[in-house]
Structure 1
Amino acid sequence: MLGGEDFSAFARCAPATYIFIGSGSNGNDYPHHHPKFGLDENSFTIALQMMIDVAKNSARFRKN
């Protein structure tokens, strides 16, 4: 089962959002699990801020 298919099963049970966060770096086109795959660690900061924003906003919507 692929990740999207897993997600659809979870989303049937509760409100849900699927977010894809890229983490590649310029000039590095190798896929995950490839020995030359490179990760731009700056993507962690971007992803963390996005998750914080989602958590803050979802808490606000749950009050309504």
Structure 2
Amino acid sequence: MSVAAIGALAGLVVAAAEFWFIRRLSTRVELAETKRVLNVTGIVQFILLPVVGWFVAPLIAGE
């Protein structure tokens, strides 16, 4: 497994943890718009964090 793939996997794990946290946070707010923004933010992180991990991990590892 390449360093880039490991970075993407780590980004996916972090995104899943943040998605869980954001979903729990969205149950505590009252405004529908705020809930929608928090849910969209969680979904966008599933795309961005693995991509960032793919490019940043090789830079950190020195490849």
TM-score by length of 2: 0.38
TM-score by length of 1: 0.37
The structure with the larger Rg is: 1
Tell me: higher relative CO, structure 1 or 2? Use CA pairs within 8 A at least 6 residues apart: 2
Q: Which has the higher helix share?
A: 2
